[in-house]
Structure 1
Amino acid sequence: MPSVQVPKKLPILMVTDGVVFPAATMRIPIRSKQNILMLEQRILSATSLHGSIVVIAYRDATADKSSSADDSQVEADGRVPKAVHTIATAAIVTQVMGSNWPQPSYTVQVTGLCRVRLDRIVRQQPFLLAAISQLDKIDDIKSVKAVSEAALKEFTDDVWKILNYLSPRDAAVQQLRKIVHTASLDVICDLTASVLKEVTYTELLRVLDHVTIAERLAMVHSLVKRQLKVMEHLSGDDESYTVQIHPESTRVDDISRLLGSIINRKAVGGRDGDMSERNASNSTQRDALLQKLKDAKMPPDVEKDILKEYQKLKGMSNFSPEYNSLQNYLELVADLPWSTESGETLNVQKSRADLDADHYGLKVLKTRILEYLAVRQLRRSLKGPILCFVGPPGVGKTSVAKSIANTLGRTFHRVALGGISDESDIRGHRRTYIGSMPGRIIQGMKTAKTKNPVFLLDEVDKLTSGVHGDPSSALLEVLDPEQNNTFLDHYLNVPFDLSGVLFIATANNVSGIPAPLLDRMEMIEIAGYTQEEKVRIAMDHLIPKQLREHGIDASHVHLPADSIAIIVQRYTREAGVRNLERSISAICRAVALKIAEAQSSSASSPSADSTVFRTDVGLPALPIVIDDTALTDILGPATHANSGAEILVQPGVAAGLAWTPVGGEVLYVETTKMEGEGRVTLTGQLGDVMKESANLALTWLRSHVSTDMKRDLIEKTDVHVHFPAGAVSKDGPSAGITVLVALASLFTNRCVRSDTAMTGEVTLRGLLLPVGGIRDKVLAAYRAGFRRVILPKRNEKDIIDIPEEIKKSIEFVFATTMAEALNAAFEGGFQKLQSNAASKL
Structure 2
Amino acid sequence: MAVNKEERYLPLLPLRGLLVFPAMVLHLDVGREKSVEALEKAMVDEGMILLATQKEIHIEEPSPEDIYQVGTVARVRQMLKLPNGTMRVLVEGLKRARIERFLDNETYHNVMIEELSEVEHDDLDTQALMRSVLDHFESYLRLSKKISPDVYTAVADIEEPGRLADLIASHLPLKISDKQALLEQLDVQQRLNQLLDIINNEKEVLELEHKISSRVKKQMEKTQKEYYLREQMKAIQHELGEKEGRLGEVEELREQLAALEAPDDVKEKVAKEIDRLEKVPTSSAEGGVIRTYVEWLLELPWQKETKDDLSIQKAEQVLNEDHYGLEKAKERVLEYLAVQRMVKKLKGPILCFVGPPGVGKTSLARSIARALDRKFVRVSLGGVRDEAEIRGHRRTYVGAMPGRIIQGMKTASSANPVFLLDEIDKMAMDFRGDPASALLEVLDPNQNATFSDHYVEIPYDLSKVMFITTANTMHNIPQPLLDRMELLYISGYTELEKEFIAKDYLIPKQLKEHGLTNDQIKIRMDAVRKLIRNYTREAGVRNLERMIGTLCRKAAKQLVSGKKERITITARSLQKSLGSIRYRYGVAEQEDQIGVVTGLAWTEAGGDTLSVEASVMPGTGKLTLTGQLGDVMKESAQAAFSYIRSRADDWGIDTQFHKKNDIHIHIPEGAIPKDGPSAGITMATALISALTGIPVSKEVAMTGEVTLRGRVLPIGGLKEKSLSAHRAGIKRIIFPYENEKDLEEIPKSVRKDLSFLPVSQMDEVLKLALIRSPLEHESNQV
* TM category, shorter: 0.5 to 0.7
* Residue identity in the other structure for 1:579: N
Taking only the aligned residue pairs, the percentage that are identical comes to 49
1:410 aligned partner = 374
Tell whether the 8 Å contact from 2:382 to 2:423 is kept in structure 1 after alignment. Answer: yes
* Residue identity in the other structure for 2:623: V
Kindly provide the CA deviation profile for residues 503-559 of structure 1, in whole angstroms up to 9, marking residues without a partner as x: 001100010110000000010001111111111100001001111222222112111
1:294 aligned partner = 258
Specify the SS of the correspondent of 1:496: coil
2:296 aligned partner = 332
2:549 aligned partner = 585
Separation of aligned partners in 2, 1:433 and 1:287: 27
Specify the SS of the correspondent of 1:455: strand
Kindly provide the CA deviation profile for residues 619-673 of structure 1, in whole angstroms up to 9, marking residues without a partner as x: xx3x322112111212233334464224876432222222333433323322223
2:511 aligned partner = 547
Q: Which of 768, 781, 787 is the aligned partner of 2:731?
A: 787
2:351 aligned partner = 387
* Residue identity in the other structure for 2:690: L
Tell whether the 8 Å contact from 1:714 to 1:747 is kept in structure 2 after alignment. Answer: no
1:657 aligned partner = 600
Separation of aligned partners in 2, 1:335 and 1:821: 65
2:685 aligned partner = 741
Q: How far does residue 714 in structure 1 lie from its aligned partner after superposition?
A: 4.8
* Residue identity in the other structure for 1:665: D
Separation of aligned partners in 1, 2:527 and 2:297: 56
1:631 aligned partner = 574
Q: Does 1:723 align with 2:667?
A: yes
Q: Which of 514, 523, 526 is the aligned partner of 1:559?
A: 523
* Residue identity in the other structure for 2:330: K
Where in structure 2 are the equivalents of 1:21-40 lying within 5 Å? none
Cα 1:423–1:554 shift into 2, 3 Å: same
Cα 1:648–1:303 shift into 2, 3 Å: farther
* Residue identity in the other structure for 2:637: A
Q: How far does residue 799 in structure 1 lie from its aligned partner after superposition?
A: 1.1
1:825 aligned partner = 769
Separation of aligned partners in 1, 2:634 and 2:514: 50
Q: How far does residue 707 in structure 1 lie from its aligned partner after superposition?
A: 6.6
Specify the SS of the correspondent of 1:512: coil
2:133 aligned partner = none
2:152 aligned partner = none
Q: How far does residue 764 in structure 1 lie from its aligned partner after superposition?
A: 0.8
1:479 aligned partner = 443
Q: How far does residue 740 in structure 1 lie from its aligned partner after superposition?
A: 0.7
Tell whether the 8 Å contact from 2:423 to 2:469 is kept in structure 1 after alignment. Answer: yes
Where in structure 2 are the equivalents of 1:568-647 lying within 5 Å? 568-598=532-562, 609=563, 613=564, 621=565, 623-641=566-584, 643-646=586-589
Q: How far does residue 302 in structure 1 lie from its aligned partner after superposition?
A: 2.1
Kindly provide the CA deviation profile for residues 340-372 of structure 1, in whole angstroms up to 9, marking residues without a partner as x: 111210011111111111111112222222112
2:222 aligned partner = none
Separation of aligned partners in 1, 2:714 and 2:312: 37
1:813 aligned partner = 757
* Residue identity in the other structure for 1:291: E
Separation of aligned partners in 1, 2:516 and 2:716: 44
2:414 aligned partner = 450
* Residue identity in the other structure for 2:706: V
* Residue identity in the other structure for 2:634: K
Tell whether the 8 Å contact from 1:387 to 1:504 is kept in structure 2 after alignment. Answer: yes
1:732 aligned partner = 676
2:330 aligned partner = 366
Tell whether the 8 Å contact from 2:349 to 2:466 is kept in structure 1 after alignment. Answer: no
Kindly provide the CA deviation profile for residues 681-738 of structure 1, in whole angstroms up to 9, marking residues without a partner as x: 1223333322111011112223323575444445411111123333443332211011
Q: How far does residue 332 in structure 1 lie from its aligned partner after superposition?
A: 1.0
Cα 1:830–1:367 shift into 2, 3 Å: farther
* Residue identity in the other structure for 2:433: G
Cα 1:383–1:833 shift into 2, 3 Å: farther
Specify the SS of the correspondent of 2:616: strand
**Structure 1 gap ranges (5+):** 1-270, 599-608, 614-620, 836-841
Cα 1:785–1:380 shift into 2, 3 Å: farther
Q: How far does residue 757 in structure 1 lie from its aligned partner after superposition?
A: 1.8
* Residue identity in the other structure for 1:671: A
1:502 aligned partner = 466
1:679 aligned partner = 622
Tell whether the 8 Å contact from 1:460 to 1:505 is kept in structure 2 after alignment. Answer: yes
Separation of aligned partners in 1, 2:699 and 2:591: 9
1:189 aligned partner = none
Tell whether the 8 Å contact from 1:704 to 1:834 is kept in structure 2 after alignment. Answer: no
* Residue identity in the other structure for 1:458: D
Cα 1:692–1:832 shift into 2, 3 Å: farther
Separation of aligned partners in 2, 1:327 and 1:754: 74
Tell whether the 8 Å contact from 2:585 to 2:608 is kept in structure 1 after alignment. Answer: no
1:432 aligned partner = 396
- TM score, norm. by length of structure 1: 0.62
* Residue identity in the other structure for 2:604: P
Q: How far does residue 431 in structure 1 lie from its aligned partner after superposition?
A: 0.6
Cα 1:362–1:829 shift into 2, 3 Å: farther
Q: State how many pairs are aligned.
A: 544
1:489 aligned partner = 453
Where in structure 2 are the equivalents of 1:228-267 lying within 5 Å? none
Separation of aligned partners in 2, 1:707 and 1:410: 65
Tell whether the 8 Å contact from 1:420 to 1:471 is kept in structure 2 after alignment. Answer: yes
1:421 aligned partner = 385
Tell whether the 8 Å contact from 1:438 to 1:489 is kept in structure 2 after alignment. Answer: yes
Q: Over aligned residues, Cα RMSD in angstroms?
A: 2.2
* Residue identity in the other structure for 1:376: Q
**Structure 2 gap ranges (5+):** 1-234
Specify the SS of the correspondent of 1:637: coil
Tell whether the 8 Å contact from 2:348 to 2:463 is kept in structure 1 after alignment. Answer: no
Tell whether the 8 Å contact from 1:632 to 1:638 is kept in structure 2 after alignment. Answer: yes
- TM score, norm. by length of structure 2: 0.67
Tell whether the 8 Å contact from 1:655 to 1:758 is kept in structure 2 after alignment. Answer: yes
Tell whether the 8 Å contact from 1:644 to 1:754 is kept in structure 2 after alignment. Answer: no
Where in structure 2 are the equivalents of 1:296-315 lying within 5 Å? 296-315=260-279
Cα 1:741–1:639 shift into 2, 3 Å: farther
Kindly provide the CA deviation profile for residues 88-141 of structure 1, in whole angstroms up to 9, marking residues without a partner as x: xxxxxxxxxxxxxxxxxxxxxxxxxxxxxxxxxxxxxxxxxxxxxxxxxxxxxx
Kindly provide the CA deviation profile for residues 771-825 of structure 1, in whole angstroms up to 9, marking residues without a partner as x: 1222222223233333321101111111111122221121101111011111211
Separation of aligned partners in 2, 1:532 and 1:393: 18
Tell whether the 8 Å contact from 1:659 to 1:773 is kept in structure 2 after alignment. Answer: yes
Tell whether the 8 Å contact from 2:246 to 2:278 is kept in structure 1 after alignment. Answer: no
Q: How far does residue 388 in structure 1 lie from its aligned partner after superposition?
A: 0.5
Separation of aligned partners in 1, 2:358 and 2:736: 29
Kindly provide the CA deviation profile for residues 129-187 of structure 1, in whole angstroms up to 9, marking residues without a partner as x: xxxxxxxxxxxxxxxxxxxxxxxxxxxxxxxxxxxxxxxxxxxxxxxxxxxxxxxxxxx
Separation of aligned partners in 2, 1:518 and 1:827: 45
Tell whether the 8 Å contact from 1:418 to 1:460 is kept in structure 2 after alignment. Answer: yes
Q: How far does residue 299 in structure 1 lie from its aligned partner after superposition?
A: 1.0
Tell whether the 8 Å contact from 2:348 to 2:467 is kept in structure 1 after alignment. Answer: no
* Residue identity in the other structure for 2:733: V
Tell whether the 8 Å contact from 2:237 to 2:245 is kept in structure 1 after alignment. Answer: no
Separation of aligned partners in 2, 1:766 and 1:550: 58
Cα 1:701–1:410 shift into 2, 3 Å: same
Separation of aligned partners in 1, 2:309 and 2:289: 40
